[in-house]
Amino acid sequence: MENVLFEVKEHVGIITINRPKALNALNGDVMTELMATVKAADANPDVYVMIVTGAGEKSFVAGADIGQMSTMSAEEGKLWGAFGNQVMLTIENAAKPVIAAVNGFALGGGCELAMACDIRIASENARFAQPEAGLGITPGFGGTQRMPRLLGRSKAMELILTTNQIKAAEAKEIGLVSKVVPLEELMDAAMAMAKDICKNAQVAVRECKACINRGLQTDIYTGAAYEAEAFGLCFATEDQKDAMKAFVEKRKLDGFKNK
């Protein structure tokens, strides 16, 4: 693949959007390759956690490719938005955790891509915005759905309707990102967080992610019932048996079998 790079380091699958001359804008080829890469990484038993980032030092993803969208009909626009949402849902619904390492502009589709990830870490030069209303369209890859869930209705309305761009510090203040670090430390910070996740029992990690995602889409009673199912499932794993036995015996567990 030319537009999306992939490598595995210490059980971490690093996915890089690779169109730096176009500020990593999302066109059809990028989106197709991104979805295929995420699916392959999710199915790879050597990958426990994924990191998504952009090539270069200026941009994570500066949005969808406006040149491609400028001549679309209403029907073509609907199909493009539906495909974009399919890609973002593939990321959000991946069994394994996905960390966005936001290294610059995360505008439009780039902000939506970051929000589809489970955790967001930003470099100090990162900038976030949903500029679509200024281009005569709505966000099309889930921005109107994920941003209110992450930030609340009022702040999401403000950012989407004004199209104002915010800096990394404000993004952290409002809860859009978890951490802000200098650009040169971004990938180290993302890798450190990924390794912290890798240290734990991966069956439990995946069930935790599924519980959170499903719970956010339903009422507390249904969510609690799903959590009870996941909780019980974990007691059928070797990881639970090994870890609790080690705890009771006051000794350190020498890694998980992840089964």
Structure tokens at 183: 């650009």
- Angle between the N-to-C axes of helices 202-216 and 220-234, in degrees from 0 to 180, rounded to the nearest 10: 170
pLDDT exceeds cutoff 90 at 209: yes
What pLDDT sits at residue 214?
96
- Angle between the N-to-C axes of helices 202-216 and 238-248, in degrees from 0 to 180, rounded to the nearest 10: 110
pLDDT-derived band at 68 (thresholds 50, 70, 90) equals: confident
What pLDDT sits at residue 64?
83
- Do the beta carbons of residue 19 and residue 28 sit within 8 Å? no
What pLDDT sits at residue 134?
97
Instruction: Label residue 165 exposed, middle or buried (CB < 10 Å: 0-12, 13-18, 19+).
Output: middle
Rounded Cα distance between 114 and 88, Å, is 9
Nearest CA-CA partner of 115 in 102, 125, 104, 126:
102
pLDDT-derived band at 175 (thresholds 50, 70, 90) equals: very high
- Do the beta carbons of residue 203 and residue 234 sit within 8 Å? yes
Name, in order, each residue with C-beta under 8 angstroms of 95's C-beta and a sequence gap of 6 or more: 42, 206, 209, 210
CA 237 to chain centre: 27
Tokens 């956690």, located at residue: 49
Pick the catalytic residue: 92, 132, 173, 249?
Answer: 132
DSSP letter string, 173-196: HTTS-SEEE-GGGHHHHHHHHHHH
Domain ranges of the chain: 4-198, 202-248
Instruction: Mark whether 229 is an active-site residue.
Output: no
What pLDDT sits at residue 56?
94
pLDDT-derived band at 65 (thresholds 50, 70, 90) equals: confident
Mean pLDDT over residues 216-233, rounded?
96
CATH 3.40.50.2000 is right for the domain spanning 202-248: no
pLDDT exceeds cutoff 90 at 39: yes
Pick the catalytic residue: 33, 92, 112, 238?
Answer: 112
Mean pLDDT over residues 230-259, rounded?
95
What pLDDT sits at residue 85?
97
Rounded Cα distance between 3 and 15, Å, is 10
pLDDT exceeds cutoff 90 at 254: no
Q: What is the pLDDT of residues 10-37, one digit of tens each?
A: 999 999 999 999 999 999 999 999 999 9
User: How confident is the prediction for the chain on average, in pLDDT?
Assistant: 96
Q: Are strands 127-129 and 166-167 parallel, antiparallel or unpaired?
A: antiparallel
Please say whether the dihedral angle defined by the alpha carbons of residues 90, 92, 96 and 97, taken in this order, is positive or negative.
Answer: positive
Q: What is the pLDDT of residues 122-166, one digit of tens each?
A: 999 999 999 999 999 999 999 999 999 999 999 999 999 999 999
Which amino acid, residue 154? S
pLDDT exceeds cutoff 90 at 103: yes
Instruction: Label residue 124 exposed, middle or buried (CB < 10 Å: 0-12, 13-18, 19+).
Output: middle
What pLDDT sits at residue 40?
98
Mean pLDDT over residues 51-79, rounded?
93
**pLDDT above 70 as % of the chain:** 100
Domain 4-198, architecture per CATH: Alpha-Beta Complex (3.90)
Instruction: Mark whether 112 is an active-site residue.
Output: yes
Name, in order, each residue with C-beta under 8 angstroms of 50's C-beta and a sequence gap of 6 or more: 12, 13, 14, 15, 38, 41, 42, 94, 96, 97, 98, 99
CA 229 to chain centre: 25
